[in-house]
Each structure stands twice: as C-alpha cells, then as structure tokens.
A and B are shown apart, each in its own frame.
Chain A
Amino acid sequence: MNAGDLIAAVLLATGVSVVLVSALGLLAGGALFDRLHHLTPVPSVAVPLVVTALALAQDHPGRATVKLVVIGLLLTAAGPVVSMATGRAATRGPGPTDPESR
C-alpha cells in the first residue's frame, strides 16, 4: 500500500465515520432543527472526504475524476440550501398540501 492508498483509506474512514455519527444523531430524535444540525456535516464534511478519497484512488485521473469532483461540489453546495429550505418550511408551519393540515 503506497502513500496515496493510505491517505485515501484514512479519508474514506473519516468520511464514513462522519456519516455514521450524523445518522445516529438523526435517529436520536429531538426537534426538527436539532435534526438539521445533525444532518449538516454529511454534505459539508463527509462528501468532500469520500470524494477526495475516490479521486486519489483513480488509476488514470481524467474524466472520471472530473465527474467525482462535479458530484462532490454539487452535493456540498446543495447541502446548506436544502437544510435552509427544510427549516424554512418548518418555520412556516404546515401548508395546504401537508397531510397534517387536513
């Protein structure tokens, strides 16, 4: 195992650990805003770590690496937007299409 593989393994293990901790926090329950706090590290921390590990593991960097980076950037950029939209929906209360309001 060379240095690149070792770095990729460490990044992968860290990223997967972040997802596991976040999922456990999400399972622990609490208010929606607490859940959103537990959710934030996944797109912001875990996705860049795992994508970097995968990019390091590519034998022939090229189009595949570009795809990985595009996916990583998309998920990382969209994470806060999605959390904000979910929090906003919770703040406004159930709308006319929400089953709870019927």
Chain B
Amino acid sequence: MMWLLAALVLLAGGLAPALLVASRGGAVARLAGLDLAGVVTCLVFLLLAQGLARPSYVDLALVLAPLSVTGVLVFSRLLGRPR
C-alpha cells in the first residue's frame, strides 16, 4: 500500500507539474519539464511494480530510463544553435 501511495503522490505532485512546465514557455525551457517527467515516470513504474507485485513493470522503467535521457539529449542538440 505504501508503494502505491508513493506512486500516486509522485503522479500528482511530480509528473503533473513536470507536464505543466513542459507545455508552456520557450522550446528550450520546456526541456526541464521533459527531463523531470522522464525521471518521475521511471520512479512511478518502479513503485507500481512493487505495489502491484508485477515485476515485469520494472522492464518498462529499464527501457524508459535510457530512452528519456536520449530524448532530452537529442532535443537539446537540435534546439541549440550549432557551433
């Protein structure tokens, strides 16, 4: 129960603000929200895997972690002015 409660708190208090930040402001400023959203989503998947006793959900976090990092890096590379 503790794990599901933590996942719910992270969804409401972590993911929602991250999506809000990622949906307003300049293009580069939105990257901060996208970065936080990726990390929080990974944590939510891990907590749901523990809370629901579904170990396979950990694989989602294992895939999402490198993909979210790569996504933000690609966006930062494309949005910034090349040297």
Provide the A78-102 mask, 1 if CB < 8 A to any CB of B, else 0.
1101110110111111111111100
A27-B20, A94-B27 are contacts. A78–B69 as well, Cβ < 8 Å? yes
Shortest C-beta distance, B18 to chain A (Å), equals 6
A23, A81, A99: the one within 8 Å of B36 (CB): A23
Total residues of chain A contacting the partner, CB 8 A = 51
Interface centre among A16, A83, A100 (most CB of B within 10 A): A16
Closest to A93 in B: B81
Shortest C-beta distance, A28 to chain B (Å), equals 10
Main secondary structure of the interface of B (DSSP, over half): helix
Main secondary structure of the interface of A (DSSP, over half): helix
Total residues of chain B contacting the partner, CB 8 A = 45
The number of inter-chain residue pairs (CB within 8 angstroms) is 145
Closest to A22 in B: B36
Closest to B29 in A: A32
B52 interfacial contact with A, CB 8 Å = no
Which residues on the A side are within 8 Å of B29 (C-beta)? 32, 35, 90
A88 contacts B76, C-beta separation under 8 Å = yes
Shortest C-beta distance, A19 to chain B (Å), equals 4
Provide the A55-94 mask, 1 if CB < 8 A to any CB of B, else 0.
0010000001001101100110011011101101111111
Q: Bound complex: CA of A35 vs CA of B24, how far in Å?
A: 13
Q: Bound complex: CA of A98 vs CA of B75, how far in Å?
A: 10
B80 contacts A68, C-beta separation under 8 Å = no
B2 contacts A67, C-beta separation under 8 Å = no
A9 contacts B2, C-beta separation under 8 Å = yes
Q: Can you list the 8 inter-chain pairs with the closest CB atoms, starting with the nearest? A: A89-B80, A23-B17, A78-B69, A85-B76, A95-B81, A89-B76, A92-B81, A92-B80
